[in-house]
Structure 1
């Protein structure tokens, strides 16, 4: 028996076992990397968030399951200045404006559509999308900018600015400006605004 033990733990066998372990661990690592958000859960401010896939976070508000791109912990440091949230919560109608020439127009379109869906369902607010300047694809859109904002009908303006210190939400009168520095900021700003409106982020 001792002789067999020595053969099993021989240098050759140990090298083989080591190689097999590396292959197994590499396979496990590949699966994890392919599904980094699979079955992830996280609590925040009394809300339970689930991530079935990378870039998707769901939480239940009332009877509805709502989808976000970012977990609130990831974007809680985005500043909301002034009374931006109250301007929106105290109205029944809001304009969502953007420039057709913005370099992040695709990301803005996704964020705009997200707000168009969530504002009526979550807050009973009717959104109308408009553009700050003419654009071939947006001839049917209303022309809207911050000069059209009022207390009764505020404007939410998506804007990319290389001069921005980072993503932030600020106000100019009754105009709420979601100012991005890069493309990844757009969805973060949309999520941060909704988290604020739902009081998930204080």
Structure 2
């Protein structure tokens, strides 16, 4: 059978600062050295970008509603991606957000982030664990190593009940290498051609999920 290996790591941290706050869609933001802190219903969240800098990135209709209503979802990226550590960190940010949502609203939403393994191909039939760690300020992240007999979760694994969110780097040499979010067959793909673009598209999805940037729900 297929065994899904996943790791869920979450933490909440407090921040102290004296910067002058500003508001966006009635949400208070305070600028700090590492980005922006938003005071949300789930607590204080640290973002790398301000919503006014990423609101121009379009989120297709149905993306936010699908993620909010799904009780289970999967996050993934290509383990051979040149920015795999950053993509793993973006996935962790989403994991942390869902955990905070679960705690605040007493929900039991599950997020799986990892790979699938066909246990029938392993003589020992033992579970292989993948460990990953991340601090609350998004540093010191350890990318999990992928055993040779495993395959990455991909868009083909998406279903109406379990959507897949995939992060990927777009080759700069491709003519249409733009930062965007697409939604096809229950798979949401976040693309960026640079590290900064990937961070922006990752924050854009979080802002939409939180309702800080309002998107189409149909």
State the TM-score bracket (shorter-chain normalisation): 0.7 to 0.9
Question: What is the CA deviation profile of residues 38-67 of structure 1, one whole-angstrom value per residue up to 9, with x for unaligned ones?
Answer: 7142211111100121x3211111251111
Question: What is the CA deviation profile of residues 79-122 of structure 1, one whole-angstrom value per residue up to 9, with x for unaligned ones?
Answer: 11231111111111110010111011121121111111112222
Gaps of 5+ in 2: 1-16, 118-142
Closer, same or farther in 2 for the Cα pair 1:142/1:40, shift >3 Å? Answer: farther
What does residue 18 of structure 1 align with? none
Does 1:167 find its partner at 2:179?
yes
Closer, same or farther in 2 for the Cα pair 1:84/1:141, shift >3 Å? Answer: farther
Does 1:108 find its partner at 2:87?
yes
Closer, same or farther in 2 for the Cα pair 1:41/1:99, shift >3 Å? Answer: same
Offset at 1:136? 8.4
Normalising by the residue count of structure 1, what TM-score does the alignment of the two structures yield? Answer: 0.73
Offset at 1:131? 4.6
- How many residue pairs match? The answer is 164
Question: What is the CA deviation profile of residues 127-157 of structure 1, one whole-angstrom value per residue up to 9, with x for unaligned ones?
Answer: 1113599x98122976311011011110000
What does residue 28 of structure 2 align with? 48
Normalising by the residue count of structure 2, what TM-score does the alignment of the two structures yield? Answer: 0.68
Separation in 1, partners of 2:150, 2:45: 28
Contact kept, 8 Å, 1:58 with 1:67, in 2: the verdict is yes
Structure label with greater radius of gyration: 1
Offset at 1:197? 0.8
Please report the RMSD computed on the Cα atoms of aligned residues, expressed in angstroms. 2.6
Closer, same or farther in 2 for the Cα pair 1:173/1:46, shift >3 Å? Answer: same
Question: Which protein is richer in helix relative to its size?
Answer: 1
What does residue 200 of structure 1 align with? 212
SS in 2 for 1:169: strand
The higher-RCO structure (CA 8 Å, 6+ apart) is: 2
Separation in 2, partners of 1:62, 1:81: 25
